[in-house]
Chains A and B, each alone.
Chain A
Amino acid sequence: MRKSFGDNVVLSDVDLTVEPGQCVVLIGASGSGKSTLLRCVNLLEVVDDGVITFEGRDITDPRVDGDEVRSRMGMVFQAYNLFPHLDVMGNVTLALRLVHGVGAEEARSRGAAMLDRVGLATKAGARPDDLSGGQQQRVAIARALVANPRLMLLDEVTSALDPELVGEVLDLLTDLKAEGVTMLLNTHEMGFARDVADQVCFLHDGRIHERGRPEQVLGDPQQERTRAFLSRIRA
C-alpha cells in the first residue's frame, strides 16, 4: 500500500495483516506515517496504490460503499473528537440510530450498557466538555465500540492525556483485548505494547522496518533504526 500528500510520500510498500482477535501496535516517531495508515484503513484517506482487504473484500475499490465499510469499524482519535452539542449518550448512540437503524429505545439501552462497560454509567447526561480527558476518551471508545465493529482503530488515544489519566484508558483497552476485540493502534506507550500486543510494527519514513512479537521488537530489535528509536524514547 502507498499513500502520499502531493510530493510527500507518507507510506510506501506497507504490507500488514491483522488477524481477528489480534492486537497490532504500530510504533515509530512522529511523522512516520502511523496515523495516516489508520486513516487509510478507515477510508478517511484515499490510497494512491495498493489493496486494503477487510473481511475478505477489497475496500480500496472505489465501487465499495465507504460509509458501509466505516460503519463496521470503530475509530478513536487522539483528540477524542466528541460531538460537543450532544450529551454523552447522544454521542454514543448517534451512529446506532442513524447508520444501524436501531430504535431510540434499544439504542439507549445499548448505549447505557456500553457506558457501563467503560465505567461511565453515571455520565450519560453529561456534556463532553464537562468530562476529564480520560473520561472523554473512554466515551469516544464507547462510541466507536457500541455497534460491535469488526476492527477497532485507535490513533494515539492516550497522547493528549495527563499521565495519571493514561492508565484508565489503557486498562480499558487491555480489557477489550481480553474480550477478543480486534485492534490496530499506534501509541507511544511501550509498556502497553509489550503487555498487550500480539504484533509490534516499527514504522520509519512510511515503511515497516521491523515487525514481530513485542518481546522481540522491543526487547531485542534487529534493525539499527529500531534500536535508535527505542533508545531515544527510553532516554
Chain B
Amino acid sequence: MAHPVADEAPGAWQPSEVQRDRDEWRRRRTVRSAVIAAGSTLLLLGAVGGAVVSSPGWQRVRETYFDWDKAVSSFPAVLEGLWLNIRVMVVCWLLILLLSLTVAIVRTLRGPVAFPLRLLGTAYVDVFRGLPLLLVIFLLGFGGPALSLQGLPTSPLFWGGAALVLSYSAYVAEVFRAGIESVHPSQRLAGRSLGLTYGQTLRHVVLPQAWRRVIPPLMNDLVSLQKDSGLIAVLGVSDAIRKAQIETALDFNYTPYVVAGVLFCCLTIPMARLTDRYARKKGYHGAGGHL
C-alpha cells in the first residue's frame, strides 16, 4: 500500500539504486519467460500440426473435412440452421432461469410446511440430473407429441425445447441454490431484524448477493446450452447440425460439420470472454481465466 508522504511533493520520488536494480532484473526475467513460453507453444503446435499433416491419411481427410468450395457452398444453409439454434437457446435460457430459480427457492425453504414442496424440488433435480440429456430429448420428443395433449403443440421443436429446459433447469437450480446458501445467515438476520418479511429478505437481501456470485457458473451453463441446443437435431429439427447433415448427405463430404463446428465456436467463445468481463466488472475476482 502506497501512502502519500505528507512533506513530499507529488512526483518528487525517484527510485533508489536498489530499486532500479530490482526493476531491471524483473524486466529481464519477464522478457525471458515470455520468449520461452511463446517458443514452446509454437513448438508444440508445430509438432501436433506436423503429425496430423504428415499422417498417411491426411490427404483424404483434408478433402473430406476441409474442402473450401464445399464449405462455401454449404455455409448459407448451416448459417440458417444456426439462427434456429440461437432462437431456441434464447427462449430456453429465459425459461431455464425462471424454472431453476423457482426450484432453488423451493429447495431452500425451511419448516415442515414446505416439506412436500422441498420433496418435489429434490425429486425433480435428482431425476433430471440423473437422466442423460439425449435420453430426455428422445423421451419427450417422441413421447410428448404422442400424448396429444390439448393446447400443446406437437412439433419436435417445442418438445425438444421442453427437454432442454427440463434437463438444464435441474443443473441451474443447483447453481442458484449454492448461491443462495453461500450468502451468510447473518445477512438474513440483518434483514429480518429490520422488519423485512422472509420474502422481502430473500428478494432484496439474499438474491441480489447470490445472483452476483453465480453469474460465472450461470454463463458457463449458457455456453453449454448454446451447443447442446444442437442435440434437438436428432428429432429432425432443421438446426445447424441437421442442415450440415443434409449437406453432407449430398456427396459424403463432411466439411459442413466443420463449418457448423466453427460457427458454434464463433457463438460460444465470445460469450465466454463476455462472461469474464461482466463478472470482473461486477467485482467478482478470480472469474474465469485471464487472457
Contacts and interface: CB of A to CB of B under 8 A. Distances in A.
A86 B205 CA distance: 9
A85 B194 contact: no
9 closest A-B pairs (Cβ-Cβ)? Answer: A71-B195, A81-B190, A75-B193, A95-B194, A99-B195, A70-B195, A85-B208, A81-B186, A67-B197
Contact of B187 (A44, A71, A81): A81
A84 B196 CA distance: 17
B277 interface: no
A77 B186 contact: yes
Given A83-B205, A98-B200, A77 B190 contact: yes
B102 interface: no
Interface residues of A, number: 26
Interface residues of B, number: 17
Contacts of B87: none
Interface of A: 42, 44, 67-68, 70-75, 77, 79, 81-86, 94-95, 98-100, 143-144, 147
Contacts of A44: 189, 192-193
Contact of A83 (B190, B192, B193): B190
Contacts of A70: 192-195
Interface string B155-189: 00000000000000000000000000000001101
Specify the main secondary structure of chain B where it touches its partner.
helix
B280 interface: no
Interface string B198-237: 0010001100110010000000000000000000000000
Contacts of B189: 44, 77, 81
A129 B121 CA distance: 36
Nearest to A78: B186
Contacts of A99: 194-196, 200
Interface in B54-93: none
Nearest to B185: A81
A98 B192 contact: no
Contacts of B187: 81, 83
Contacts of B194: 70-71, 75, 94-95, 99, 143-144, 147
Nearest to A66: B192
